[in-house]
A and B are shown apart, each in its own frame.
Chain A
Amino acid sequence: MTDRLESREKVTGEARYAAEYPVEGVAYAAAVQAGVGRGEVVSVGTDEASRLPGVLAVLSCENAPRLNGVDDGELALFQSRKVSYRGQFVAAVVAETLETAREAARLVRVDYRSEPPDVRLGADRPDLYEPGSVNPGFPADTGKGDPDGAFARSAVRVDATYTTPAEHNNPMEPHATIALWDEDGTLTLYDSNQGSSIVQTTLAKVFGLDKDRVRVVAPHVGGGFGAKGTPRPNAVLAAMAARAAGRPVKFAVPRQQMFATTGYRTPTIQRVRLGADADGRLNAILHDAIGQTSVVREFAEQTATPTRVMYRAEHRRTSHRLVRLNVPTPSWMRAPGETPGMFALESAMDELAVAAGIDPVELRVRNDTDRDPESGVPFSSRNLVACLREGAGRFGWAARDPEPGVRRQGRRLLGTGVAAATYPAYMQPNRATARAEPDGTFTVRIAAADIGTGARTALTLIAAEALKADLDRVRVEIGDSAFPRASVAGGSAGTSSWGTAVVRACEALLGRMNGTVPPGGLEASADTGDEVKGREEYARHAFGAQFADVEVDVDTGEVRVRRMLGVFAAGRIINPKTARSQFIGGMTMGLGMALLEESVMDAEFGDYLTRDLAQYHVPACADVRDIDAVWVEESDPHLNPMGTKGIGEIGIVGAAAAVANAVHHATGVRVRDLPITPSRLLPEL
């Protein structure tokens, strides 16, 4: 139980976030968003804006410098006249003050030649296509046996379609950048991101610079959830604006503009078919997922991939189809793929449990497997059953009457639900250095990111253990691309990936120390590229079980979650205190997914109407009554030197299904379209 090491700096406001660096002579940027959903910019009228005192520059497709193309078309800022979606940045103003910049941005007159935007996602679209692969590189489709035939022949069948809406990451700290160009052409970015090395490489490419001429600084990041996993247009805009103005420029994306420009979880349409024998043993699993992407960039959410590893069944199929629409590009959002995918699969498992008359916990236990059901590769460890059993015991599951819609407390219907969770245990190559200082302390450096997860604390614990040193003698420095190159804080891979490099650097340092430290200190470094490549073949995944207890008001259809419990098997837990926060944070976000979160597409104009936190509802304190997370001890030798699997994302996986299953248990109503709002539930009660 270690307190977050930077907690004092954070609560006293000493910890600096991207937009907070005191930079002399800084100017401010404000962006202009496209007012049409599809078309071309005919002209950009800047006279009125330019006349405003304090305006330093107006940038648009008519005068922006040429940038180098990179994989992500969202970064090709002002490089063409094409408007791909409503809200896309089409111009920007730089001014002496933020107020002037915003007012001038309002005065920029953009004329368009426009066409009606194509924004409707549907399972019936003729232009659905199979992507070459899905995030982060899996095949779009997989199959084994004769799933359609086996499903048709199964004694018990579930065939249901589930939908999840677009959902937006809403980190407390918006996407923000301060950009400074030195006289020698070096670019420094104070930028809110999940990986300074990645931002460094990408921005260097965009601006045609040697990588060493870009420095990205991000020691504290106020949340990301995946939205800051890739550089976003804000970083490019700030850098471009700073060059145009000849001054440092600050650009923090206003909350309203984040909804179009910083990524979101694609809406999904998922058909799940489960075929089982009378005892609930699965014979056929089919999961067909549809999502959307933009015309700017392909992002293929891996929605059906968790179904590939969850349950034993001879006959199986998963597929992904996409459609390109005039919408902002979807991106990573906490457990992309697993989160919507497991909502569908685990809802279908609950429907199967009801159809077969089998307890939902028992049904999942019955379909457990010790090998990856598709590849036959053994799991490095898989403690799903332990999580289900431990959770059922703690939650008081044994007393549960399976009959839906019969428990009442006054005007409220009560119900409980369960869902399983899984998330891959990824590992990325990384580099780190460890220094022994003459004063007996150690400094470890790696360009890792702490986006509020407690990564800094976990890495310090890992380093101290590897160095066999007390915690207060070890300093871990992160969040700077000047430090050894690190992978992104994403995929729940940070602690495992960075930690391995830290351990190897510390081991190398200890190997060189011989008891004495020279006056200049002693440094060792590590690169885990070969180690990651050379790992044995195992299916490596974390597992979990989510339990929820809900009440539903019969007069209003309001759902409140009385109690939630998550039990996780995620390898070794480095720091129980911050780990618990990660788990319950994920579960809270899952509660929001189940009941609240929904970005509403305006079919006429083609943008998301929900543009602030008054309209886009995330859980508030009053929604979170009693959430607890625990874990089962797991010692897995096939992971990494720490024995960790990663915990950032598994907390959200399965949480929405557990709530939805509890709502069904409470009411007898199966809501297959998230979120479960009074408007959807009340008419069915």
Chain B
Amino acid sequence: MRPFAYERATSVEDALARHGDGALYLGGGTNLVDLMRLGVEEPSRLVDVTHLPYDQIQLKPDGGLVIGATVSNSDLAADRTVREGHPVLAQAVLAGASGQIRNLATVGGNLLQRTRCSYFQDASKPCNKRDPGSGCPAREGEHHNLAILGHSEACVATHPSDMAVALAALDAEVQVQGRAGERSIPFEDFHRLPGGEPQRDTTLAPGELVTAVEVPPLEMPSRYRKVRERASFAFALVSIAAALRVEDGRVEDVRIALGGVAHKPWRARRAEDALRGAPATEESFLRAAEAELDTAEPLRDNAYKVPLARNLIVRTLIELGEGT
């Protein structure tokens, strides 16, 4: 590991002032420190932001939430207002990592965790995400668990977070603070598709610090389901965060986001559009899933994700519709 300085930020202004010259913000460190050990991240300085006053979950009068960036994943999943008002979020967080990691991991850090693509994690190999322009061996190599949607010639990596998939479905907004001031980024615009610049995971400007995530109220049943080979402590092959409101047999409102399929949590807008106002039947769900997945471009070894995502969408919506 390359030598680095460690500093603890005392305020958001202090954090912003300490950023720059190869510095990185440090949350729980459950991904960043691993990447430093692997030689993938080589910050000159870590600015620890875990002591900043963003460790609260506030329930707003309308039922929405403001989740501070340093709230631990364990605290988020255990929070009663979250479990009652936004069960999909609690379920997604609990589906991720292990108890030990959730205790340490923070909401802000979770949003910024980086892909688990084997080539990205191995500094001895080319990777456009790690070393722009060096190539993408995953395209022809091992990509069994990589993207089927929205990928590019440059990168086929997937975003690993479960929590972010739920936040994508929830129309969350990410509050950030930079030297230019505060701003709010709609969740769908926070993570990027790879395009020609896969090294940029998010639309954060240099030095911008995530301070909170705002989640609007959710007035419909929701759930998170994650498919994986191992029953715990594994990244998703495909996951889904979904919410559905049915009135008089018709889909009144629906939210669908998929994990494990793209460079970012994938909001399934095409499926949602196909469903709004449609009869809440298995047939509609299937048509909607297929509308979404029509745009899928599976690679040599990950075509199984297409029927897997389709089945997950259909089955999860059926169960939400039945209230089971």
- A residues sitting closer than 8 Å to B (CB atoms) are 33, 35, 99, 102-103, 106, 256, 411, 555-558, 560, 595-596, 600, 602-605, 609-611, 614-615, 617, 619-623, 675, 677-679, 682-683
Query: Inside 8 A of B307's CB, which chain A residues have their CB?
Result: 682-683
- Of residues 205 to 258 in B, which have CB atoms within 8 Å of A's CB atoms? 227-235, 237
What are 12 A-B interface contacts by the 8 Å CB criterion? A103-B3, A556-B311, A557-B308, A600-B144, A604-B137, A611-B121, A614-B233, A617-B230, A622-B233, A675-B229, A682-B307, A683-B303
- Picked from A555, A620, A679, A682, the residue with its CB within 8 Å of the CB of B232 is A620
Residue of A nearest to B123 (CB): A106
> Is residue B140 contacting chain A, with contact meaning CB distance below 8 A?
yes
Q: Is B229 a contact partner of A602 (Cβ separation < 8 A)?
A: no
CB of A335 to closest CB in B, whole Å = 22
CB distance from B90 to the nearest CB of A (A): 18
Residues of A within 8 A of B140 (CB): 604
Can you add 12 more A-B contacts, CB < 8 Å, to A611-B121, A678-B237, A678-B308? A35-B124, A555-B315, A556-B227, A595-B229, A595-B230, A604-B140, A611-B122, A614-B235, A620-B233, A679-B237, A679-B304, A683-B303
On chain B, the residues within 8 Å of A558 by CB distance are 227-229
Name the CB-closest residue of A to B235. Answer: A614
In the bound complex, CA of A50 to CA of B24 (Å): 28
Q: Does B166 contact A (CB under 8 A)?
A: no
Does chain A have a CB within 8 A of B39? yes
Does B142 lie at the interface of the complex (its beta carbon under 8 Å from any beta carbon of A)? yes
- If A609-B142, A614-B116 touch, whether A622 touches B1 (CB-CB below 8 Å) is no
Residues of A within 8 A of B2 (CB): 103, 106
| Residue in contact with A556 in the complex, picked from B124, B235, B308, CB distance below 8 Å | B308
User: Which B residues are closer than 8 A to A by beta carbons?
Assistant: 1-3, 38-39, 116, 118-119, 121-122, 124-125, 137, 140-142, 144, 227-235, 237, 301-304, 307-308, 311-312, 314-315
**Is B124 touching A682 in the complex (CB atoms < 8 A)?**
no
Nearest-neighbour CB distance to chain A for B124, whole angstroms, equals 5
CA distance A609 to B235 in the complex (A): 16
**Contact status A677-B229, CB under 8 Å:** yes
Which chain B residue shows the least CB distance to A100?
B3
**A679-B230 in contact given A106-B2, A411-B315 (Cβ < 8 Å):** no
A256–B314 alpha-carbon span in the complex (Å): 39
Partner of B142 from the list A35, A596, A602, A614 (CB cut-off 8 Å) is A602
A610 to B119 Cα, complex, angstroms = 10
Cβ contact within 8 Å between A678 and B230: no
Quote the shortest CB–CB distance from B289 to chain A (angstroms): 12
- Neighbouring B residues of A609 by C-beta, 8 Å: 118-119, 122, 141-142
| Residues of chain B lying within 8 A (CB to CB) of residue A604 | 137, 140-141
| C-alpha spacing A57/B303, complex, angstroms | 50
| B residues less than 8 Å from A611 (CB atoms) | 118, 121-122
Residues of B within 8 A of A106 (CB): 2, 39
Contact partners of B144 in chain A: CB under 8 A: 600, 679
Contacting residue for A605 out of B125, B228, B237, B314, CB 8 A: B125
Give the CA-CA distance A595 to B230 in the complex, in Å.
8
Contact of A620 among B231, B302, B308, B314 (CB under 8 A): B231
Contact A620 B38, beta carbon cutoff 8 Å = no
Bound together, the chains give a CA A428 to CA B54 distance in angstroms of 64
Query: Which of A33, A103, A678 has a CB less than 8 Å from the CB of B229?
Result: A678
A102 touches B230 (CB 8 A): no
Question: B116: which A residues are within 8 A, CB to CB?
Answer: 614-615
Q: Find out whether the CB atom of A683 lies under 8 angstroms from the CB atom of B312.
A: no
Nearest 8 interchain pairs by C-beta: A622-B231, A622-B232, A555-B311, A609-B118, A679-B304, A556-B227, A555-B315, A623-B231
Q: Which residues of A contact B232 (CB under 8 A)?
A: 620-623
Task: Tell me whether B312 and A617 are in contact (CB under 8 A).
Answer: no
| Chain A interface helix/strand/loop/mixed | loop
Task: Report B-chain residues with C-beta under 8 Å of the C-beta of A675.
Answer: 229
CB-nearest residue of chain B relative to A624? B231
Task: Compute how far the CA of A102 lies from the CA of B3 in the bound complex, rounded to whole angstroms.
Answer: 11
| A contact residues around B308 at 8 Å (CB) | 556-557, 678, 682
In the complex, which residue of chain A has the Cβ closest to the Cβ of B124?
A35
Alpha-carbon separation in the docked complex, A602 to B121 (Å): 14
| B1:A102 contact, CB within 8 angstroms | yes
Q: Once the chains bind, are A555 and B141 in contact (CB under 8 Å)?
A: no
Within the complex, the shortest CB–CB distance from A210 to chain B, in Å, comes to: 41
B229 touches A596 (CB 8 A): yes
Minimum C-beta distance from A189 to chain B (A) = 27
Inter-chain contact B39/A596, CB cutoff 8 Å? no
The answer for the CA separation of A679 and B142 in the assembled complex, in Å, is 13
Shortest CB–CB separation between residue B322 and chain A, in angstroms?
Answer: 12
Minimum CB–CB distance for B293 against chain A, Å: 14
Chain B residues positioned under 8 Å from A678 (CB to CB): 227, 229, 237, 304, 308
Q: Which of B124, B235, B315 has the most CB of A within 10 A?
A: B124
Contacts of A617 in B (CB 8 A): 229-230, 234
For the complex, what is the distance from the CA of A600 to the CA of B122, rounded to whole Å? Answer: 14
Q: CA A675 – CA B144 in complex, angstroms?
A: 14
**Cα distance A610–B235 in the bound complex, in angstroms:** 14
Chain B residues positioned under 8 Å from A33 (CB to CB): 124
- A683–B310 Cα gap in the complex (Å)? 12
In the complex, what residues of B have CB within 8 A of residue A411's CB?
315
CB distance from A596 to the nearest CB of B (A): 6
Contacts of A603 in B (CB 8 A): 141
Bound CA–CA A411/B237 (angstroms): 19
**What residues on B are CB-neighbors of A610 within 8 Å?**
118
Contact present for A605 and B227 (CB under 8 Å): no
What residue of chain A has the Cβ atom nearest to residue B116's Cβ? A614
Q: Please, how many angstroms separate the alpha-carbon atoms of A99 and B227 in the complex?
A: 38
Among A556, A596, A619, the most chain B Cβ lie within 10 Å of the Cβ of A556
For the complex, what is the distance from the CA of A633 to the CA of B140, rounded to whole Å? Answer: 55
Of chain A, the residue at the smallest CB distance from B313 is A555
Nearest CB in chain B to that of A106: its residue: B39
Q: For the complex, what is the distance from the CA of A103 to the CA of B42, rounded to whole Å?
A: 11
Q: Which among B141, B230, B311 has the highest number of chain A CB atoms within 10 Å?
A: B230
Q: Please give the distance in Å from B241's CB to the nearest CB on chain A.
A: 16
Bound form: Cα–Cα A401–B60 in Å: 57
A540 to B108, CA, bound (A): 61
Cβ-defined contact, B141 with A602, below 8 A: yes
For A602, list chain B residues within 8 Å (CB).
Answer: 118, 137, 141-142
Contacts of B314 on A, CB cut-off 8 Å? 555
Are the CB atoms of A560 and B311 closer together than 8 Å?
no
* Cα of A622 to Cα of B229 in the assembled complex, Å: 12
**A555, A610, A614, A622: which has the most chain B beta carbons within 10 Å?**
A555
Between A619, A623, A675, the greatest number of chain B beta carbons within 10 A of the residue's beta carbon is seen for: A623
Is the pair B1, A103 in contact by a Cβ cutoff of 8 Å?
yes
Q: Give chain A nearest CB distance to B199 CB in angstroms.
A: 21
Decide if A600 touches B142 in the complex (CB within 8 Å).
yes
Q: Give the residues in chain B near A256, CB-CB below 8 Å.
A: 38
- Residues of chain B within 8 A (CB-CB) of A596 are 229-230
Chain A hits for B233, CB < 8 A: 614, 620, 622
CA distance A200 to B314 in the complex (A): 62
Chain B residues within an 8 Å CB radius of A615: 116, 118
**Interchain CA distance A106-B1 in the complex, whole Å:** 8
* CA of A619 to CA of B227, assembled, Å: 16
B122 neighbours in A (Cβ, 8 Å): 609, 611
For A679, the chain B residues whose CB sits under 8 A away are 144, 237, 301-302, 304
Given A611-B122, A615-B116, A682-B304: A623 and B311 interface contact (C-beta under 8 Å): no
Residues of B within 8 A of A677 (CB): 229
**Residues of the A chain whose Cβ atoms lie less than 8 Å from the Cβ of B235:** 614
Complex Cα distance, B315 from A610, in Å, reads 32
Q: A603 to B143: give the CA distance in the assembly, Å.
A: 12
Distance between Cα atoms of A614 and B119 in the complex (Å) = 14
CA gap between A418 and B37 in the complex, in Å = 44
Q: How far is the CB of B48 from chain A (nearest CB, A)?
A: 19
CB-CB under 8 A from A620, the residues of chain B are: 230-233
Q: Give CA–CA (A35, B122) in the complex, Å.
A: 11
A106 to B124, CA, bound (A): 10
Of residues A596, A605, A611, which shows the largest number of chain B Cβ atoms within 10 Å of its Cβ?
A605
